[in-house]
């Protein structure tokens, strides 16, 4: 401490003398400003300095005097006896503390203060009295001006610049100049603080001095000062930045000229050079070399607009230029129709319903049939501006630059064009066109129908467990044969020399002699079936467990049943070979024994497949070749029975096959599926269907080819029988011709079932259909 | 050789997304938009979007990579960059208030040059004409705009100037073909060098403040920027083709040295130009009109008379007739009628036109001129009327042009309810609904019969009402008529007798068949034989019935047949077929709906008319009765 202080004192020492000499004031050396002020306005010294006091000292007016006094004293003392400066400062500190803590003792303090000062030098005291006010109490300022160290501020605490929290644990906060402990002021707790906050109106202006731990009450002046400092203004409010204003050029009109030289003669004469200049300009204007500002402006205006010239030399000539790649011109807008007229024919105006719909489609305007609401105006003058006009133009602009373009071929064809050119059905007669007979008698849905090879009789099997034999021409039921189980399938032997019906009922296959037609034939058939041939070949176990042949019981014999072939699972379908010796049965549940071939003459059965290739739906013999067609759910396999190998696999690409029929020539196969399709396979052509027909609206149950005419029929769950022309040409190069001819829809619907089976008359172009409505219908 | 990776070749490299394009061109989106609009670059629809977008399936805006590469070499890209620099520098000047520098800089504003782009986008003049529709429509709209934030006054003025110039060309070349008043505006269609150019002039006054979401004027303004240049060049060439001086001028004799003309010559001239009522200055001295090169009729005749040639000839004749449609007629346009569209139409078909000079400058004669043949008015009544002229509503002009003949004016008289205004743009031979008015236009005989039938029906109705008194007389007449009828019937019955024989034979055939079938059964049933014998004895030839073909049934059978055949459509065409059928059905339904509406409207109108008539008659009768009573008293 001592060294620095000493230096300070050294520096300070000469200044007071100067000041004293100039202003006769023992003021602080630092107070240059005051000096100036003193020079400017010596008479108002006190007031002026008080103002400064107010700025720097920040005391209430009452405090002011006291404070300034005090300070003045102190400073004065400092000036006078610097040796004691330190001690005095401490004193000063103490006093400040006192002042804060108890203001009541102010006067005493004052007295105390004055005492030492008076005791020091009375002479100085008298002089100092006004100066006390002059010198602002700004302890830091003079010291800053001398040196930049902050150490030499007004420090009452001698601990130095250390973190004050080191003293947190102690009762004192440091040491004063006398090395006495500075005791911490009593510190209230939060409640005290809070109470003070409420009670003390000056709480907000109370600040804690970190050095001494004392609370300092800021005066109004202090606050004003802080505010000025914060806002970046000069702290001294009184300070005039532009103070020394010296008016060099006076505004007052002087009587005497400043310069004493009279004006030259040429100042009274018109200028020759200017005259020349003007005449030159006038000449230039006349000649058009120069332009007036107006003209220049006009020209600029003209220059600014676009200039047009002959861009295209000819109408169609094109210059080779780089263009955008493969330009696609934007399509033109649609031209308006009658509806857009301001006075359209009355039918184009919206009625109430249309208006409502138009308004309803507000959120999806593209669905509206017109993009505007037609309006009618009585005369042209009533037509207002179209409200969406701007928006429409804007959308067109958007279309032009933002809509992706591509060249597309627009298909402008009539729907008729897509229908394949087929011959008229009238040219393809005969085919059945009307329903001519209905055979009633069954009491449950009729599953199957089969016609005698000669075409006189017909057998039908129904869910009412009966087989009925009908006379075709009259529609009379000749015989009813009752069986023990639901009749799934009946099949008349295609050999005209035999009169046998194969009936699949439950798990039994009955061979029935219907006893109709030629008596001789009946007799012969009976004989044939009665004689059971001796079995020279012993069946293996696999067949034995699957099938048992037996002659019918006597009571069944009476009904006409001759042979019973008992299967191990319910039979679904039975079909004859063309010669009438073989017949095949299908038991869908029979796994790898689901298809069986029976030979009538030898009373023998065979199981052609050792492995199951899927759920077998139906089987079929080839009419000519020794081939066997097996339809599983998705595919059809064709086997050679002689070589015992797979010839071909037909891919139907359908979900579920329901039935199939082969063309009498054996080259074309027709397949019906439950997924509404009919597939025509040309067996020579490909394993894929030659044509897929979707004639029906519902599952197709069965299809049948006519034996003689180029006709086929299909029956479906949509109660329709569709008769089509299916011509197969001998010329191999010509594809089959398929023409749908007639839709016959007379069956009634019952439990989702319509037509269950269709069958052709062997000779006539007549088709029989059985339906779920317990009837058989004949269409001729 | 390196195996190419996916999307390194083919469609994926042909297209470039907008974002990538922006990156490649180093432009902001706004600049890119401007560039695209000016250069006519548009996004493309790829064949396979997935492939073009390198596997992503969301819809992006794709440009052709070649187009973007093409933009890379465009000089105006540099101008756009200069704009950016200019904005930055002038902004700086403004910020530091260096106004001198700012002024200097503003004078050096980088002008954008679009001439080469016009040439490049439209390599031939015909191409430009083909694309004139949007251009004209937009410029006509902009020419009505007030000065807006994004649309400087100059731009709308330029639009106005160019459109007026174009209209002058249309008038001078007489190329207007079709006109139509729509609720959106006036449609005009001109045929310029074989190209049909259609534009819309909006109804006054189209501008309304728009929200930013609805309409972005900035985009439209860029379009206008290009279109003005394009139309300017097009006008230049069109004027040149007609030997007119391009910035349109008047012949010197037109300008009388009035005080007005001398005061401000340029504004006077521009006023007259916008009036569209004067011939323009020609560059050649020929000046005489009606030198129209009729399509080489002789040449065509040599070609023989195929249908096309005949059609062309007819068309040419019609057009030549149209050109002189209003020749010799003098029109006067009343105050309330929109002047400009009518002036264009009348002048381009050879008519003379004027208007109230207080409405617009350029009026050539006054309303009191006795030689005026037609005055176009659009108000219910007029106080002072001249006998020498027809007072017609503006629709007459439009309908005349579309009909290509002068229509009778009686339907268009002052205050008369107007006949419907039909669009000339619809195809006359279309298969959708054609309103009766249009049918009458194509076939004038229809309209006569229509009127006649109406009259007749009215007469009938009247007769019915009137003839209550002469009931007995009527009865007698009826009796007589009935007798006549019966006599006739007898005659016809004789004629029918010939047919009957045929029917009989048919019947017999049928019977024969039945007999045959019966024979089959006879084996078993003897009783039946007896009965049959009895019946045979009774049998005699009966008079047959006329076999009537049930038309409905036949039709149904045909429909069924067609339906079945339609099911044979190939699977690959099935969806298309269904779509076409659906469209056709929708069209038919529309037609049916319109027809139904029309029918109901007409019947309603007739009912109302009848009712009104009856009322009137009743009132008259009552009045007469009252008068009689009074007289009796």
Which tens digits make up the pLDDT trace of A430-474?
899 889 999 999 999 999 999 999 889 999 999 999 999 999 998
B418/A378 Cβ within 8 A: yes
Does A314 contact chain B (CB < 8 Å)?
Answer: yes
At B358 the pLDDT is 87
A418/B215 Cβ within 8 A: no
Please identify, among B425, B460, B491, the residue that sits at the C-terminal boundary of a domain: B425
A336/B561 Cβ within 8 A: no
Does B110 contact chain A (CB < 8 Å)?
Answer: no
The most confident of the ranges A280-294, B204-218, B437-451 is A280-294
At B261 the pLDDT is 57
At B92 the pLDDT is 95
Chain B residues within an 8 Å CB radius of A742: 560-561, 564
B23 and B101 in a single domain? The answer is: yes
Torsions phi, psi for A727 (to 5 deg): -90, 125
Does A474 contact chain B (CB < 8 Å)?
Answer: yes
Of B124, B158, B206, the CB nearest to A389: B206
- pLDDT at residue A78 is higher than 80: no
A474/B423 Cβ within 8 A: no
Does A695 contact chain B (CB < 8 Å)?
Answer: yes
Does B121 contact chain A (CB < 8 Å)?
Answer: yes
The model's confidence at residue A680, banded by pLDDT at 50, 70 and 90, is: very high
Chain B residues within an 8 Å CB radius of A328: 42
Chain B residues within an 8 Å CB radius of A700: none
- Is residue B208 domain-resident? yes
B139 and B257 in a single domain? The answer is: yes
Does A633 contact chain B (CB < 8 Å)?
Answer: no
- Is residue B293 domain-resident? no
3-class secondary structure, A476? strand
Distance to chain B for A93, nearest Cα, Å: 54
Task: Work out the average pLDDT over A710-716.
Answer: 93
A413/B580 Cβ within 8 A: yes
B602: domain range?
Answer: 576-632
Chain A residues within an 8 Å CB radius of B246: 308
- Is residue B556 domain-resident? no
B47 and B77 in a single domain? The answer is: yes
B93 and B124 in a single domain? The answer is: no
B320: part of which helix (H) or strand (E)?
Answer: helix B307-323
What string of DSSP letters covers B201-255?
A: EEPS-------TTT--HHHHHHHHHHHHHHHHHHHHHHHHHTTB-SS----GGG-
The model's confidence at residue B461, banded by pLDDT at 50, 70 and 90, is: very low
At A57 the pLDDT is 40
Q: Which of A171-185, A756-770, B197-211, B474-488 shows the lowest per-residue confidence on average (mean pLDDT)? A: B474-488
Does A332 contact chain B (CB < 8 Å)?
Answer: yes
A341/B423 Cβ within 8 A: yes
CA torsion through residues B48, B51, B53, B56, sign: positive
Structure tokens at B468: 């209550």
Task: Work out the average pLDDT over B20-25.
Answer: 94
A383/B378 Cβ within 8 A: no
Distance to chain A for B97, nearest Cα, Å: 25
Radius of gyration of chain A (CA): 65
Task: Work out the average pLDDT over A566-570.
Answer: 90
- Is residue B457 domain-resident? no
B84 and B217 in a single domain? The answer is: no
A330/B180 Cβ within 8 A: no
Give B472-494 pLDDT, tens digit per residue: 566 666 777 777 766 666 665 44
At A167 the pLDDT is 83
Of B128, B232, B418, the CB nearest to A308: B232
The structural domain count of chain B equals 4
Task: Please report, rounded to a whole number, the percentage of residues in chain B having pLDDT higher than 90.
Answer: 45
* CA distance linking residue A756 with residue A773, whole number of Å: 10
At B198 the pLDDT is 96
The model's confidence at residue B299, banded by pLDDT at 50, 70 and 90, is: low
Chain B residues within an 8 Å CB radius of A722: 564
Task: Work out the average pLDDT over A616-643.
Answer: 91
Average per-residue pLDDT in chain B?
Answer: 83
Does B240 contact chain A (CB < 8 Å)?
Answer: yes
Task: Fold for A425-779, please state it.
Answer: Methylamine Dehydrogenase; Chain H (2.130.10)
* Burial of B288 (C-beta count, 10 Å sphere; 0-12/13-18/19+): exposed
Taking CA–CA distances from A345, the nearest residue in chain B reads: B420
Of A311, A348, A385, the CB nearest to B237: A311
Give A718-762 pLDDT, tens digit per residue: 999 999 999 999 888 888 899 999 999 889 888 889 999 999 999
> Which value does ipTM take for this structure?
0.82
3-state helix, strand, coil in chain B (%, to 5): 60, 5, 35
Distance to chain B for A418, nearest Cα, Å: 6
Task: Work out the average pLDDT over A365-392.
Answer: 91
B242 and B145 in a single domain? The answer is: yes
A residues 158-197 lying closer than 8 A (beta carbon) to B: none
Does B43 contact chain A (CB < 8 Å)?
Answer: yes
Taking CA–CA distances from A742, the nearest residue in chain B reads: B561
* B interface test, pick of A376, A385, A455 with most B CB neighbours within 10 Å: A385
Structure tokens at B250: 């008047």
Residue A401 and residue B33 in contact, taking contact as beta carbons nearer than 8 Å: yes
For residues A222-236, one letter each, b for 16 or more C-beta atoms within 10 angstroms of the residue's C-beta and e for the rest, the string is beebeeeeeeeeeeb
Of A327, A341, A742, the CB nearest to B182: A341
CA torsion through residues A742, A748, A754, A760, sign: negative
B260 and B372 in a single domain? The answer is: no
* CA distance linking residue A763 with residue A455, whole number of Å: 7
At B557 the pLDDT is 87
Task: Work out the average pLDDT over B135-163.
Answer: 90
At B445 the pLDDT is 64
B residues 55-84 lying closer than 8 A (beta carbon) to A: 61-62, 64, 66-67, 70, 73
Chain A residues within an 8 Å CB radius of B584: 415
* CA distance linking residue B287 with residue B295, whole number of Å: 21
Taking CA–CA distances from B37, the nearest residue in chain A reads: A401
At A185 the pLDDT is 77
Of residues B500 and B353, more confidence is placed in: B353
Average per-residue pLDDT in chain A?
Answer: 79
* CA distance linking residue B335 with residue B358, whole number of Å: 9
* CA distance linking residue B255 with residue B258, whole number of Å: 8
At B579 the pLDDT is 92
At B256 the pLDDT is 60
B124 and B259 in a single domain? The answer is: yes
B368: Cα separation from own chain's centroid: 37
Which of A532, A614, A609, A622 has its CA nearest to residue A575? A622
- pLDDT at residue A6 is higher than 50: no
* CA distance linking residue A697 with residue A675, whole number of Å: 9
The model's confidence at residue A514, banded by pLDDT at 50, 70 and 90, is: confident
Task: Please report, rounded to a whole number, the percentage of residues in chain B having pLDDT higher than 70.
Answer: 82
pTM for this structure? 0.66
3-class secondary structure, A217? strand
- Is residue B299 domain-resident? no
B233/A308 Cβ within 8 A: yes
Taking CA–CA distances from B434, the nearest residue in chain A reads: A338
Q: Where are the alpha helices (DSSP H) in B467-524?
A: 471-522
Going from the C-alpha of A689 to that of each of A372, A522, A680, A683, B484, the distances in angstroms are 51, 43, 5, 9, 70
Which residues belong to CATH 2.130.10.10 in chain A? 425-779
CA torsion through residues B250, B252, B254, B258, sign: positive
Task: Work out the average pLDDT over A90-113.
Answer: 42
B137/A316 Cβ within 8 A: no
- Is residue B482 domain-resident? no
* CA distance linking residue A419 with residue A281, whole number of Å: 92
B20 and B94 in a single domain? The answer is: yes
Task: Work out the average pLDDT over B431-450.
Answer: 72
The model's confidence at residue A240, banded by pLDDT at 50, 70 and 90, is: confident
A-B C-beta contacts closer than 8 Å: 295
At B260 the pLDDT is 57
Does B141 contact chain A (CB < 8 Å)?
Answer: yes
A404/B62 Cβ within 8 A: yes
B252 and B332 in a single domain? The answer is: no
Please identify, among B275, B299, B315, the residue that sits at the C-terminal boundary of a domain: B275
At B302 the pLDDT is 57
Instruction: Region of A411 please: left (phi>0), alpha (psi -120 to 50) or beta.
Output: beta
Does A390 contact chain B (CB < 8 Å)?
Answer: yes
B99 and B128 in a single domain? The answer is: no
At A153 the pLDDT is 53
**Residue A655 neighbours by CB under 8 Å, 6+ apart:** A633, A634, A673, A674, A675
* A interface test, pick of B184, B225, B574 with most A CB neighbours within 10 Å: B184
Does A740 contact chain B (CB < 8 Å)?
Answer: yes
- pLDDT at residue B31 is higher than 80: yes
- pLDDT at residue B153 is higher than 50: yes
* CA distance linking residue B373 with residue B332, whole number of Å: 8
- pLDDT at residue A407 is higher than 80: yes
At A701 the pLDDT is 92
Distance to chain B for A717, nearest Cα, Å: 17
- Is residue B295 domain-resident? no
Does A301 contact chain B (CB < 8 Å)?
Answer: no
A549: part of which helix (H) or strand (E)?
Answer: strand A547-551
B150 and B170 in a single domain? The answer is: yes
B181/A341 Cβ within 8 A: yes
Structure tokens at A376: 């009618």
Task: Please report, rounded to a whole number, the percentage of residues in chain A having pLDDT higher than 70.
Answer: 79
3-class secondary structure, A661? strand
At B526 the pLDDT is 74
Q: How many CA atoms lie within 13 A of B515 on its CB side?
A: 10
At B534 the pLDDT is 78
- Is residue B302 domain-resident? no
């Amino acid at each position: 401490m001592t060294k620095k202080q000493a230096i300070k004192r050294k520096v300070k020492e000469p200044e007071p003398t100067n000041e004293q000499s100039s202003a006769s004031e023992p003021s602080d050396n630092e107070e240059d400003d005051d000096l100036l002020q003193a020079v400017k306005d010596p008479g108002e010294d006190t007031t002026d300095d008080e103002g400064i006091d107010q700025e720097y000292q920040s005391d209430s007016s009452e405090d002011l005097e006291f404070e300034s006094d005090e300070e003045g004293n102190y400073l004065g003392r400092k000036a006078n006896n610097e040796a004691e400066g330190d001690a005095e400062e401490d004193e000063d500190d103490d006093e400040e503390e006192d002042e804060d803590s108890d203001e009541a003792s102010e006067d005493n303090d004052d007295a105390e203060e004055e005492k030492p000062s008076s005791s020091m030098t009375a002479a100085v005291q008298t002089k100092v009295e006004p100066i006390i006010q002059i010198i602002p109490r700004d302890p830091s300022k003079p010291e800053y001006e001398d040196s930049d160290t902050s150490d030499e501020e007004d420090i009452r605490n001698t601990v130095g610049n250390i973190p004050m929290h080191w003293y947190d644990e102690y009762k004192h906060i440091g040491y004063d100049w006398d090395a006495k402990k500075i005791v911490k002021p009593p510190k209230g707790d939060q409640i005290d603080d809070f109470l003070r906050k409420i009670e003390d109106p000056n709480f907000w202006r109370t600040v804690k001095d970190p050095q001494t731990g004392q609370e300092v009450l800021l005066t109004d002046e202090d606050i004003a000062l802080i505010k000025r400092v914060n806002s970046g203004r000069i702290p001294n409010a009184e300070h005039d930045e532009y103070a020394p204003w010296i008016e060099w050029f006076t505004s007052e009109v002087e009587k005497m000229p400043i310069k004493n030289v009279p004006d030259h003669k040429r100042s009274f004469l018109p200028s020759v050079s200017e005259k020349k200049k003007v005449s030159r300009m006038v000449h230039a204007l006349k000649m058009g070399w120069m332009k007036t500002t107006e003209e220049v402006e006009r020209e600029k205006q003209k220059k600014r607009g676009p200039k047009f010239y002959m861009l295209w030399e000819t109408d169609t000539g094109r210059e080779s230029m780089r263009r955008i790649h493969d330009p696609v011109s934007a399509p033109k807008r649609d031209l308006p129709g009658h509806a857009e007229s301001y006075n359209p024919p009355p039918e184009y105006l919206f009625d109430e319903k249309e208006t409502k719909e138009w308004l309803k489609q507000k959120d999806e305007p593209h669905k509206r049939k017109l993009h505007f609401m037609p309006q009618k105006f009585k005369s042209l003058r009533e037509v207002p501006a179209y409200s969406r006009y701007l928006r429409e133009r804007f959308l067109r602009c958007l279309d032009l630059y933002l809509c992706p373009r591509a060249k597309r071929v627009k298909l402008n064809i009539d729907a008729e064009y897509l229908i394949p050119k087929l011959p008229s059905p009238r040219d393809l007669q005969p085919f059945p066109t009307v329903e001519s007979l209905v055979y009633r008698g069954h009491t449950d849905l009729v599953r199957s129908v089969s016609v005698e090879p000669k075409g006189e009789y017909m057998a039908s099997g129904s869910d009412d467990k009966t087989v009925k034999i009908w006379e075709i021409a009259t529609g009379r039921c000749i015989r009813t044969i009752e069986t023990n189980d639901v009749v799934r399938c009946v099949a008349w032997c295609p050999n005209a020399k035999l009169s046998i019906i194969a009936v699949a009922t439950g798990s039994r296959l009955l061979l029935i002699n219907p006893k109709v037609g030629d008596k001789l034939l009946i007799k012969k058939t009976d004989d044939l079936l009665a004689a059971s041939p001796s079995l020279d070949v012993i069946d293996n176990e696999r067949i034995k467990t699957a099938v048992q042949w037996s002659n019918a019981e006597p009571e069944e014999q009476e009904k006409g049943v001759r042979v019973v072939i008992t299967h191990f699972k319910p039979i679904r379908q039975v079909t004859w070979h063309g010669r009438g010796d073989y017949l095949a049965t299908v038991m869908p549940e029979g796994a790898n024994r689901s298809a069986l071939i029976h030979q009538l003459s030898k009373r023998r059965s065979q199981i052609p497949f050792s492995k199951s290739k899927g759920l077998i739906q139906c089987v079929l013999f080839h009419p000519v070749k020794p081939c066997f067609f097996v339809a599983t759910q998705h595919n059809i396999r064709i086997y050679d029975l002689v070589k015992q190998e797979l010839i071909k696999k037909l891919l139907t690409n359908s979900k579920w096959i329901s039935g199939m029929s082969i063309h009498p020539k054996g080259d074309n196969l027709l397949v019906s599926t439950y997924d509404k399709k009919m597939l025509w396979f040309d067996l020579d052509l490909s394993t894929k269907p030659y044509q897929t027909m979707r004639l029906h609206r519902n599952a197709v149950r069965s299809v049948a080819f006519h034996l003689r005419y180029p006709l086929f029929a299909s029956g479906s769950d949509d109660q329709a029988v569709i008769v089509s022309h299916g011509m197969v040409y001998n010329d191999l190069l010509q594809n089959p011709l398929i023409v749908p001819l007639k839709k016959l829809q007379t069956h009634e619907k019952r439990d989702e079932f319509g037509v269950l089976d269709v069958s052709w008359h062997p000779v006539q172009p007549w088709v029989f259909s059985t339906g779920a409505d317990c009837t058989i219908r004949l269409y001729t | 050789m390196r195996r190419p990776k996916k999307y390194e070749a083919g469609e994926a490299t042909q297209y470039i997304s907008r974002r990538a394009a922006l990156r490649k061109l180093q432009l902001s989106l706004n600049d890119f938009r401007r560039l695209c609009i000016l250069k006519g670059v548009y996004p493309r629809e790829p064949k396979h979007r997935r492939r073009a977008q390198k596997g992503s399936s969301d819809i992006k805006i794709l440009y052709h990579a070649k187009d973007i590469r093409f933009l890379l070499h465009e000089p105006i890209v540099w101008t756009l960059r200069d704009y950016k620099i200019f904005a930055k520098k002038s902004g700086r000047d403004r910020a530091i208030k260096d106004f001198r520098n700012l002024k200097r800089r503003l004078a050096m504003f980088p002008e954008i040059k679009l001439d080469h782009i016009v040439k490049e986008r439209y390599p031939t003049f015909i191409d430009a004409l083909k694309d004139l529709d949007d251009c004209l429509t937009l410029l006509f709209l902009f020419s009505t705009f007030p000065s807006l934030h994004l649309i400087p006054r100059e731009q709308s003025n330029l639009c106005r100037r160019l459109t007026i110039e174009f209209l002058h060309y249309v008038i001078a070349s007489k190329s207007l073909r079709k006109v139509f008043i729509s609720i959106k505006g006036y449609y005009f269609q001109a045929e310029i060098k074989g190209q049909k150019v259609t534009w819309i002039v909006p109804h006054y006054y189209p501008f309304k403040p728009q929200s930013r979401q609805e309409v972005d004027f900035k985009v439209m303004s860029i379009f206008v920027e290009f279109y003005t240049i394009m139309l300017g060049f097009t006008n230049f060439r069109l004027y040149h083709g007609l030997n007119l001086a391009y910035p349109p001028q008047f012949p010197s004799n037109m300008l009388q040295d009035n005080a007005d003309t001398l005061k401000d010559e340029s504004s006077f001239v521009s006023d007259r130009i916008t009036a569209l009522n004067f011939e323009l200055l020609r560059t050649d001295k020929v000046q005489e009109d009606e030198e129209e090169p009729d399509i080489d009729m002789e040449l065509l005749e040599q070609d023989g008379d195929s249908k096309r040639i005949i059609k062309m000839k007819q068309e040419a004749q019609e057009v030549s007739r149209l050109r002189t449609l209003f020749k010799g007629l003098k029109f006067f346009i009343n105050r309330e009628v929109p002047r400009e569209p009518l002036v264009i139409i009348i002048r381009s078909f050879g008519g003379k036109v004027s208007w109230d000079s207080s409405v617009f400058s350029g009026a050539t004669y006054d309303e009191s001129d006795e030689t005026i043949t037609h005055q176009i008015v659009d108000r219910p009544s007029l106080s002072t009327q001249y006998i020498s002229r027809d007072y017609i509503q503006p629709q007459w002009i439009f309908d005349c042009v579309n009909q290509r003949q002068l229509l009778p004016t009686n339907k268009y008289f002052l205050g008369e309810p107007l006949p419907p205004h039909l669009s000339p743009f619809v195809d006359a031979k279309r298969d959708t609904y054609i309103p009766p008015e249009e049918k009458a236009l194509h076939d004038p005989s229809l309209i006569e019969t229509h009127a006649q039938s109406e009259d007749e029906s009215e007469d009938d109705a009247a007769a019915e009402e009137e003839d209550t008194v002469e009931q007995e007389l009527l009865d007698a007449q009826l009796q007589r008529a009935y007798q006549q009828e019966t006599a006739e019937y007898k005659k016809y019955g004789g004629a029918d007798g010939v047919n009957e024989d045929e029917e009989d034979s048919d019947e017999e055939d049928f019977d024969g068949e039945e007999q045959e079938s019966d024979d089959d059964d006879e084996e078993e049933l003897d009783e039946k034989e007896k009965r049959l014998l009895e019946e045979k004895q009774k049998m005699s030839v009966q008079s047959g019935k006329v076999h009537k073909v049930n038309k409905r049934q036949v039709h149904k059978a045909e429909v069924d047949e067609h339906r079945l055949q339609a099911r044979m459509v190939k699977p690959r065409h099935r969806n298309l077929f269904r779509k076409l059928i659906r469209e056709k059905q929708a069209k038919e339904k529309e037609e049916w709906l319109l027809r139904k509406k029309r029918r109901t409207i007409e019947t309603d109108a007739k009912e109302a008319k009848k009712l009104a008539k009856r009322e009137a008659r009743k009132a008259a009768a009552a009045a007469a009765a009252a008068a009689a009573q009074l007289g009796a008293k």
